[in-house]
Amino acid sequence: MNGLHRTPEQIKHRQNVCTELIDAILESSDNGDLSLLETVIDEYVYKCNNDELAQLEDIMTQYDEPEYVVR
C-alpha cells in the first residue's frame, strides 16, 4: 500500500477501473495487440521505488520456467 488514505468511494472507483482495465487488456490481447498491457506495465515499473521493484522481481521469479537438466 502506498500510505494514502482513500474513501470507500475512491477504493470502489479504483476497483472498477482495475476491472475495466483487465477487460480492455484481455480484449486487445485477443486481437494480438499488447500495447495497452505494455503501457500499463511500463508506467507501473517507472513509478516503483527500489524496494517495490525488488518485490516485483521476486514475484516474477515464481513464474520463471524451470530449468531442465539433460543428463
32-60, pLDDT tens digit by residue? 999 999 999 999 999 999 999 999 999 99
| All structural domains of the chain with their residue ranges | 8-61
The predicted pLDDT at position 64 comes to 80
Contact residues for 48 (Cβ-Cβ < 8 A; gap 6+)? 56
Residue 1 pLDDT exceeds 60: no
Query: Hey, what's the cell of 9?
Result: 468511494
C-beta of residue 36 within 8 angstroms of C-beta of residue 24:
yes
The predicted pLDDT at position 23 comes to 97
Query: Which helix (H) or strand (E) element contains residue 3?
Result: none
